[in-house]
Structure 1
């Protein structure tokens, strides 16, 4: 992944895309099967898979338990997407900020 001085050039992979493209097929899970396995509604899972919902700490704990990885894995993936989107949204105003020099 290419990194520039101001951050990543392309949007990081959303955790919902990871679930949809990698985890569900590998574990032969459906939306309903995932929802049942982690104790949430199908709508909640569907919104996450369609990248209309962010991974919350609670969801990260559920996913990490199910898939045997860490909650930090899921939260870090979400944080990368959130920072990328925020950086693009306020890029111009951030560029106008002059860094301070230590005394």
Structure 2
């Protein structure tokens, strides 16, 4: 039975660049230069990614998943979690001003 994930997060999600820097690169003994070469991108691109100054794009997710043997969804989901967290914080007041709609009880009520 799945456990519902309805509790709001209290800490920011981990940026995929941090995962790359702290988990993947040391495990595979990769330097920024060797990672960039393996992925076919510039060192600057990798440097910006591992410093969390660049987002993982769909193309980068495909490259990373090919290199590490995991899913591109892994990388994209991690990036999406960071993006949503950042945007929610930036737009919190505007988002809270949007009223929540209740469910419509039946068609007759909806058409009235």
TM-score computed with the length of structure 2 as normaliser: 0.85
The Cα shift of 1:4 comes to: 6.6
The Cα shift of 1:50 comes to: 0.4
Where structure 2 has 5 or more consecutive residues not aligned to the other structure, the ranges are: 105-112
| Partner Cα distance (2:53, 2:61) in 1 | 16
1:32-43 aligned within 5 A: 32-43=33-44
CA RMSD of aligned residues (A): 1.3
For the residue of structure 2 that corresponds to 1:8, the secondary structure is coil
The structure 1 segments of at least 4 consecutive aligned residues displaced by more than 3 Å after TM superposition are: none
Whose Rg is larger?
2
1:92-103 aligned within 5 A: 92-103=93-104
How many residue pairs get aligned? The number is 100
TM-score computed with the length of structure 1 as normaliser: 0.92
Task: Give the equivalent residue in structure 1 for 2:15.
Answer: 14
The Cα shift of 1:102 comes to: 2.2
Larger RCO, structures 1/2 (Cα 8 Å, 6+ apart): 1
